[in-house]
Structure 1
Amino acid sequence: MENSAFEMHENVLPSTPSSGKVNISTGLEKKSQWSLMRIFLVCLLACIITTLIGVLILSLVYASTYRPYANIKPEAHRTPETPTDPKSENPVDFKFQFLNRLHKSKVFEFPGGAIQWARYRNNLKDYLSVEEEAFGTSLNRQRSHMTFGTLRIKSNGLRAPHWHFNANEHGYLAQGTAWIGVVDDGGSVVTTYNVTAGQVIFFPKNILHWIKNVGTEDCLFLLFFTTHEELQTLDVDDVFFSTPEDIAARSLKPQGGVNFIRTFQKQEEDQAVNLPPNLAELVTKASYLQSPDSLVWRYFYDLKGSKEFRFPGGIIQWARYRKNGDGLNVNEKIFSESLNQHENSLTLGTLRIYTNGLRQPHFHFNANEMGYVISGCGKVGIISTQGTTDFNIGIGDVVFFPIGTQHYIKSTCDEDLLFILAFTTGNQLQTLDLDDYIHATADHILAQLFFKKQSEFKKIPKFTEDQAINLP
């Protein structure tokens, strides 16, 4: 053998065992067997320990993730996810996806008035609170085509001539008297008109317009814009001062040329709502002309003077498009057609609910809805695929109901609850009330669904008078 160690052992071992002496070969074999046994036992013990550790880990993972099947809820009924306040780590109440406390929002002050917003913002730092952020994010996520703001103009104040890149504008004058100007394509037609409280204004996207307070009290406009993105606006003074002097001089050709252009001084304070302290010196004569009705009614609607749709529990009035112009006078037809001709225009309306009256649960097929509380107080309930919520509302609150979301509004004060509402359709609004779809569903279908005898559904009366807004 080539292995010398093996050869040495072979020579040492006797050919026959001797009595009374230790058998060296047997001892070595036993020692070798014990060594192998010890290795085997160590390996076995290691395997057992490894297996126990693995079982323990799996048990911990299983215990942390397992949920009994009985506790799993369908997706539509799960508790909705809500934003979290990064400062306090408290979840934001689900209701703020549908509610904005506008009176608590930031007031943007100008020399001639103020603006407040309920809207989406690109920069999260522009939100004052996580509740405001939840509302703005909801508008954007739902692609609502809606932004809301209040515009307050002091007596003689002016909302500077401006236009919006990405939205039509619909406004409701809640207080005061104003003079409106709209400049059409090419500037050859300028439409001017006066509005008073309860009337509606409409400015299509990229149309230059201005608003001047011509009364003695503040004007308060409630404004809706058809965008769920950040509203993009340009004021005439900002454009003017951003234009090179020589370009402005060549375009306007004033006496004195570029030297005249240089006499204009940009104010330090934003003049979006303008009111110079020396206005009496600057303006000596001012005329507030009224254009012909054929022009005015493209941008104006007398909502307070329109037909009242009366219900047991309240009244609705509409500034909207109607097919075939049914029930509209000549001027109202002009406005109706103007809405329908412009993409993404809105339907506006006022909703008055008497004390203890109820705008019963309903939803809209073809529009998101946004509303502002003008007076009174109430309670709102919402049922959506994300969850269910209800909350109290009062003056200055803004509510938002996504398309297809069932909702109700109840008046809970001693005075009427009054809303201005906007719907994202320039077509005829399509709505379905709870009592209408219950009556329209076969009673045997209802019996099967609710586990009640078919005859029981005869107890639900059908009224001749529409119960859209009802009283107990």
Structure 2
Amino acid sequence: MDNLAFEMQEDGKKALSMGKITTSSKVEKKRQWSLLSIFLLCLLACFITTAVGVLTLSLVYVNTKPHFEQEASPPHTMVPQGQKTVDSKFQFLNHLPKSQVFEFPGGAIQWARYRNNIKDYLSDEEEAFGTSLNSLRSQMTLGTLRIKSKGLRAPHWHFNANEHGYLVQGTAWIGVIDEGGEVATTYNVTAGQVIFFPQNTLHWIKNVGHEDCFFLLFFSTHDELQTLDLDDAFFSTPEDIASRSLKPEGGINFIRKFQKQTEDQGVNLPPNLAELVTNATYVQSPDSIVWRYFFDLKGSKEYKFPGGVIQLAQYWKDADELNSNEKIFNEFLHQHQNVLALSTLRIYNNGLRQPHFHFNANEMGYVVSGCGKVGIINTERTIEFNIHIGDVVFFPMGTQHYIKNTCDEDLLFVLAFSTRDQVQTLDMDDYLLATSDHILAQLFFRKQSEFKKIPKFTEDQAINLP
């Protein structure tokens, strides 16, 4: 940058050396006045430059500030007043009786599941549960199916899940169509028994009793379940394609006689059923094929504990204790990927299913009767909540949890586990007793001798009593 004062001084030196500077006072005053003018001019220039700089920075700040405020809180977004935070327990709890009831002519279905469209949830709590199932890859969805007397769950199949069902109430006739349609396996089930339908296997359920059938259905997917009913597939097929495929008497005119009902026939019960169907028979197929899709859970071995009973419909590595029919189910189950294990858990009054966790499975349960308290212990905290009939609970793999009966009657659960192998479980008393007492003493700052006070019982305390 050019400095005028410096240049003037340099010129003065040159003039002096050349003898051209006069010593008159008039010239000296003019020279002093010129230097003062130059100084004032430089001072003014500095002031103007500073003012311009400050103004520029202010304008930049003013223009930039709204941009950051928009990122933090959009000025046009209104935050709802009094919006409540969803209780964290609803990641693990679903009040199924409060969910949407899907009504059909022959019955009803309710769901505890993940939904692709967030608008399909009825509440924030239901959304929290569905999101938890999906984000933790639970490999489980639960539905309840109620079928009226003579009602029919239409023949259908599921694209993305195996299905395991537990009949809570009623009597039903089941049909399963094998690959190629060469074999139709049919059989009857009563309360307490289990049914199994592999993925993409066409099947139906017909209520053949006088009371409603009530099923608990577990599906091996944490995504939205994909299902196609036989009537929907039929009416979605062009008439000429259906006629050419079936070759019925009357050709395409026969196909055109079928009319799609305005009401969904997922659970079907025509008002004129008596004139449509006569002399229906409910055939029982040979045991050798029935037991691939059926397990008599209520008649299976009971694992008894001081505070309750457990029964299991799962794959057993050592199948020696199974009867010949149960071995058929055991082997068939293990041939399929992404199947589930089913169990009933009965806890007596004041009984406790002690804290435990599963190495190899997520767990989902439905409360059939009674009431209780559930605790879930994860890396952040312990979450406790009460449970009642119709509630669904979810325990992620490896998460320690416990269940206590708080009613006078038995607390009965139907449970599903996301594994095709034998369920692997570790209870609190087992892992504490298996840990060296000197390790526990060092960890808890207690004398080693104190851990001798934890007794080892001859009877398994998985479900204990005080």
TM-score grouping bracket, smaller chain normalisation: 0.7 to 0.9
How many residues are paired up? 430
> Residue in 1 aligned with 2:22?
15
Give the fraction of aligned pairs with identical amino acids, expressed as a percent: 73
> Residue in 1 aligned with 2:278?
284
Q: Distance in 2 between matches of 1:205 and 1:262?
A: 31
> Residue in 1 aligned with 2:237?
243
> Residue in 2 aligned with 1:364?
358
Within-5 A mapping of 1:27-426: 27-33=33-39, 36=42, 89-385=83-379, 387-426=381-420
Q: Distance in 2 between matches of 1:444 and 1:421?
A: 37
Structure 1 residue 166: Cα displacement: 0.7
**Which shows bigger deviation, 317-326 or 368-377?**
317-326
Relative to structure 1, the CA distance from residue 167 to residue 454 in structure 2 (aligned partners, 3 Å threshold; closer, same or farther) is same
Amino acid at match of 2:195: I
User: Which TM-score applies when normalising by structure 2?
Assistant: 0.87
Q: Unaligned stretches of 5+ in structure 1?
A: 52-84
1:324 is paired with a residue of what secondary structure?
A: coil
Structure 1 residue 45: Cα displacement: 10
Amino acid at match of 2:376: I
Relative to structure 1, the CA distance from residue 326 to residue 88 in structure 2 (aligned partners, 3 Å threshold; closer, same or farther) is farther
Q: Unaligned stretches of 5+ in structure 2?
A: 58-78
Q: Distance in 1 between matches of 2:447 and 2:52?
A: 69
2:350 is paired with a residue of what secondary structure?
A: coil
Q: Distance in 2 between matches of 1:35 and 1:419?
A: 93
Amino acid at match of 2:162: N
Structure 1 residue 35: Cα displacement: 5.1
Structure 1 residue 330: Cα displacement: 0.6
Structure 1 residue 386: Cα displacement: 5.1
> Residue in 2 aligned with 1:64?
none
Q: Distance in 1 between matches of 2:117 and 2:389?
A: 28
Task: For residues 280-305 of structure 1, give each alpha carbon's deviation from its aligned partner in whole angstroms, at most 9, with x where no partner exists.
Answer: 11011110111111111111111111
Relative to structure 1, the CA distance from residue 49 to residue 408 in structure 2 (aligned partners, 3 Å threshold; closer, same or farther) is farther
Amino acid at match of 1:434: M
2:271 is paired with a residue of what secondary structure?
A: coil
Relative to structure 1, the CA distance from residue 50 to residue 441 in structure 2 (aligned partners, 3 Å threshold; closer, same or farther) is farther
Task: For residues 400-448 of structure 1, give each alpha carbon's deviation from its aligned partner in whole angstroms, at most 9, with x where no partner exists.
Answer: 1111111111111111110000001121110011111111111111111
Root mean square deviation, CA, Å: 2.6
Give 1:467's match in structure 2, choosing from 458, 461, 465. 461
Task: For residues 358-407 of structure 1, give each alpha carbon's deviation from its aligned partner in whole angstroms, at most 9, with x where no partner exists.
Answer: 11111100101000000111111112235431111110000011111111
**Which shows bigger deviation, 401-410 or 455-464?**
455-464
Structure 1 residue 246: Cα displacement: 1.8
Q: Distance in 2 between matches of 1:88 and 1:265?
A: 51
> Residue in 1 aligned with 2:31?
25
1:134 is paired with a residue of what secondary structure?
A: helix
Q: Distance in 2 between matches of 1:402 and 1:240?
A: 40
Give 1:458's match in structure 2, choosing from 419, 440, 452. 452
Amino acid at match of 2:31: S
**Which shows bigger deviation, 357-366 or 24-33?**
24-33
Structure 1 residue 184: Cα displacement: 0.7
1:432 is paired with a residue of what secondary structure?
A: strand
Amino acid at match of 1:379: K
1:145 is paired with a residue of what secondary structure?
A: coil
Task: For residues 182-237 of structure 1, give each alpha carbon's deviation from its aligned partner in whole angstroms, at most 9, with x where no partner exists.
Answer: 11111111111111111110000111110000011100000000011111111111
